[in-house]
Amino acid sequence: MAQWQELLSLDSGLQSSVSQLYEGKFPRDIRHWLSTCIESQDWDSAAVDENKAVICLQALLQHLEEQRNIMLQGKNILLGPDFSWMNNYLLMHFKNEPVKMAMILSECLKEERKILASANSAKGCSNPVMLLKWRELDNRITDLKQRVLEIKKQTKILESLNEKLDFIQKTWPSTVEQNTGLAESKAVVEQGCFKQMAVIQQRKQFVLEQLVSILNQASKIEETLLEEELPEWKRRNQLACIGCPTDTSLDLLQKWFTDVTEVLLGVYELLQKLQEQSNAYSNNDTSSFSASIAEIKEFTQPLITKLIENALVVEKQPFMQNLTHRPLILKIGVRFTVTVRFLANLPDFKFLLKVKPGFSRDVEESNTTNGSRLFEFTRNDSKVLDVDTPGGGLMAEFAHMSLKEKKSKSKGANESYLGVTEDLHLIRFETVLYHNGQTYNINARSLPVVIITSSSQVPSAWASIMWWNMHCTSKSMNLSLFLEPPPLPWQHLSQLLSWQFLSAAQRGLDEDQLSMLKEKLVDGHNDVVHWNRFSKDESAWIWIDAILTLIKKHLADLWRDGHIMGFVSRQRAKLLLQGKPNGTFLIRFSESVKGGAITFSWVDSSTEETHVHAVEPYTKQELSLLSLPHVITRYSLTMRGKTTNPLIYLYPDIPRDLVFEKYCKESDPLATKMKIKGYIKRILTVSSNDPTPPPSPPTEMPEMDFELTEILDDFLGIFESDGGFSPCQETPYLDALMSQDDTDNISMQ
């Protein structure tokens, strides 16, 4: 099924997420009507190659013209989409910037795939009990709204009866004076008035009883919203921050909050009207009726207050633009974004809510050890909640926030015992609502954030974010968790680790891969992992994180499609390959290279003795030069004077080319396209000479500064568009590689 068609089958919450991807970037109508053509183009390549971007744009324009001609032939111009407008839009916005369009569509299509993966995962583990509970709650709220409508009708009828009785009581005496013949009917009229008053009293009592019943029902629903549904959404939002594929849409919760708030305010308004009627149309029970109304008001107002003051939520937790996949990590002086939403989305509240962010007030007022590091915002950035947003919610996006550190006034007593990446802080959002003479103090707070000073601290900070969010909830804000960090059950940590790989490349970890990681992480037989073992002493997480980076940048397709076995030890790989046909190989991550590397092991049974060889691991610097599919398909081994590619079958028995050929595109980025007279065309290849089993383990790579490695990646990734090296780049790096002995080498052939 086409990707767009799959998205159209999702629920409204996920479709809303898709819609927001294109908001302000690219018309959703064009995405819809040109979905087949859009999905057939290679936008990833076009995003980095202007020539390809131009070709893709021309393909869209040509497809538009074809569709327009078909529509003209069918004589249904008025019924069909406006293809002329689409054509003009593409020309106006992207004719001179085709790469910009390619970048937008490349990113949006990737995000669409993530949403689909999340939806498919949710379908696989959907909870029928939860769906039934939501349906039941929705029905209860619908019934509540219907009951309020009925009471409004009864109140109008009551008002009409009061008006009629008041008219008779005021006009009958003057009528009797003008016509003495009617005097004898006075008793009859008075008797009728008494009957009318009795009917009014009954209806008043009925209305009050119904209002009390409605409020009792609303109170139970409010308790469900505040004690169950809202905390459950906050937990889903919290787990989504650390990679869990879960639906964090607020559509249902906003609908319920809005409906119940509307009901409660409607009840309060009815009570006001009943009081006005009582004051306007005097009768014998005015005082008792007013007392009953006042009593019901006293019950109603706290329900309204509690619901409204809990309706502000942080919809999107703080994240930096260059680190969207790892929210809650903020760097001093770097811009970050956070979104808040008010769930009681009533028109009366529009423009009444001005939200002001505040930093770490809870932390500053407490006696935690965080007191030595204080921060403040670089600008005063208050926002008015508005409905002119995607989905029409009362929300605000704080898109230009940044932090600076304040000097601590006191030293010594408040000195922090926590490292920078274990130091947790909060961002608060506060507003005051004035409505119908009432004042509501409303606030919300983000999940704890870690504030770093260097990009090299990101992996350690993310370890803290994951650990805290697996242990704590938004109700139990234990900001001092890392003073004595509790262990994490392997059951929870294995799930967490799988989420990281799922969010990085749409495939989690299987039981075999998790088993290998368990051997490295679990201490003892109690199936728990201690914080120091995970993040400090042996830096297991740093190794795993480096592999995640390797996958995301260089191996995403192979990992997603299940061709990388990944987490399998050297000994386990040997056992798996023993007995397999000659040339069977598997791809696994290096256990020795801390900075993240990948290797392949293959079985050699061409002689009497079977050997399993492993090539020296490839790091991200080397994969920047030559992709792993190209490495595998071009790999050559010189052994006993004969040069061949020893890699024949991907484990268990899949022919190599059947797997990797589709990844080796015709437009090979590393094959030169220049035809220079007198020279033979060359391509970049890898080779090894005479392996001696078992190969010695590779040396551990020195730890590098995060920012420095990023610069190095960019440097190594600078190639000419035809795939060749510039003269100044080619020689030093290749010479260094060619100088290695008895290892795989990159050579030009």
Q: At how many degrees (to 10) do helices 50-73 and 98-124 cross?
A: 80
In this prediction, residue 662 carries a pLDDT of 83
In this prediction, residue 13 carries a pLDDT of 61
What domains does the chain contain, in order, with CATH numbers?
A: 3-124 (1.10.532.10), 138-309 (1.20.1050.20), 312-467 (2.60.40.630), 488-538 (no CATH), 550-748 (3.30.505.10)
DSSP string, 654-689: EEHHHHHGGGS-SS-TTB-----TT----BEEEEEE
The dihedral built from the CA positions of residue 742, 744, 745 and 747, taken in this order, carries a sign that is positive
H/E run at residue 697: none
CB-CB contact of 30 with 89 (8 Å): yes
Beta bridge partners, 431, equal 442
Judge if the upstream peptide bond of residue 652 is cis by omega within 30 degrees of 0.
yes
Q: How far is CA 233 from CA 247, 250, 394, 430, in A?
A: 9, 8, 18, 20
Can you give 69-128 as a three-state secondary structure string? Answer: HHHHHCCCCCCCCCHHHHHHHHHHHHCCCHHHHHHHHHHHHHHHHHHHHHHHHHHHCCCH
At 13 the three-state DSSP class reads: helix
Beta bridge partners, 687, equal 636, 745
Residue segments in the chain with a per-residue pLDDT below the cut of 70: 1-2, 11-14, 74-80, 118-128, 165-166, 168-193, 282-286, 360-372, 387-391, 408-417, 537-538, 665-683, 690-749
The residue type found at 162 is N
The residue type found at 290 is S
Give the CA diameter of the chain.
137
CB atoms within 10 A of CB 579: 10
The residue to which tokens 């980095």 are assigned: 48
Residues 63/64/65/70 CA torsion (nearest 10 deg) = 90
DSSP string, 383-440: EE-BS-SGGG-EEEEEEEE-EEEEPPSS-STT---S-GGG-EE-EEEEEEEEETTEEE
In a 13 Å sphere around the CA of 608, the CA atoms on its Cβ side amount to 0
CB-CB contact of 332 with 453 (8 Å): yes
Beta-strand ranges (E) seen in 494-596 are: 528-529, 584-589
At 598 the three-state DSSP class reads: strand
Return d(Cα 416, Cα 608) in angstroms, integer.
64
Nearest-Å Rg of the Cα atoms of the chain is 35
Q: How far is CA 18 from CA 13, 111, 488, in A?
A: 9, 8, 35
- Indicate the pTM of the whole model: 0.72
Q: How far is CA 306 from CA 264, 290, 310, 441, 703, in A?
A: 11, 25, 6, 10, 52
